């Protein structure tokens, strides 16, 4: 089959024999689905069912990369398919802040974040033609000081539930954020610039997969 040259989103040329038969998102996250749908990518959602418990003394960077790789490997897909997996966590002084179990846990996490800068890590893994490639994007996020009334209001929105670090930057939590240094899509849950780079590594152009 004749190879076709497609540009990556970064402008580099990627030569591929053919585009994958389908794209699989190994995540049930509505935020990740929305990011991909907004750029015109057609995909199927096939969530991975894996143990996401962190290992003793595992640092947040290594944790999200490991979980993303395991998610990509766990999905039932053909070699010609491309599987996209990701995992996001909030890191405060090396402490992993996952999803809160209840309102009290959300308050604890948000109190840790208030008035300071923390890191958001997203591990991304791409599986295609027997290969799994992965990397991690990190963004610095600074919160305003959170007084009790602001905390009460935000927790009452219900938004902290199901979110790493108990907040969603694209939602009401925008009021809590003083500044962001790095990828915003990373904080939402899927750094698109890193995804483009990983796809290019396995010979696939992100732009070649998109529809206007």
- pLDDT tens for the 212 residues of the chain, in order: 333 444 555 555 554 445 546 999 999 999 999 999 999 999 999 998 888 888 888 999 999 999 999 999 999 999 999 999 999 999 999 999 989 999 999 999 999 999 999 999 999 999 999 999 999 999 999 999 999 999 999 999 999 999 999 999 999 999 999 999 999 999 999 999 999 999 999 999 999 999 87
By residue range, what is the domain housing residue 177? 4-209
Counts of helices then strands in the chain (DSSP H, E): 7, 9
| CATH number, domain containing residue 109 | 3.90.950.10
Total domain count for the chain? Answer: 1
pTM given for the model: 0.88
Do the Cβ atoms of 136 and 125 come closer than 8 Å? no
Query: Quick one: which H or E segment has residue 113?
Result: helix 103-113
DSSP state of 41: B
Catalytic positions are 87
Half-sphere exposure of 85 (CA within 13 A, CB side): 29
């Amino acid at each position: 089959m004749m190879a076709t040259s497609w540009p990556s989103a970064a402008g580099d040329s990627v030569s591929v024999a053919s585009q994958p038969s389908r794209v699989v998102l190994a995540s049930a996250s509505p935020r990740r689905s929305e990011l991909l749908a907004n750029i015109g990518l057609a995909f199927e959602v096939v969530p991975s069912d894996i143990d996401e418990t962190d290992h003793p003394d595992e640092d947040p960077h290594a944790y999200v990369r490991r979980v993303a790789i395991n998610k990509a490997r766990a999905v039932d897909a053909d070699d010609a398919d491309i599987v996209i997996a990701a995992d996001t966590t909030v890191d405060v002084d090396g402490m992993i802040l996952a999803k809160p179990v209840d309102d009290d846990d959300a308050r604890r996490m948000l109190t840790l974040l208030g008035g300071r800068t923390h890191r958001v890590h997203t591990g991304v893994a791409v599986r295609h033609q027997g290969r799994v490639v992965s990397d991690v994007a990190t963004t610095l996020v600074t919160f305003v000081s959170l007084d009790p009334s602001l905390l009460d209001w935000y927790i009452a929105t219900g938004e902290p539930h199901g979110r790493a670090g108990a907040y969603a930057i694209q939602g009401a939590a925008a009021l809590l954020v003083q500044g962001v240094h790095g990828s915003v899509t990373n904080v939402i849950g899927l750094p698109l610039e890193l995804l483009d780079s990983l796809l290019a590594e396995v010979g696939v152009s992100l732009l070649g997969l998109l529809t206007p």
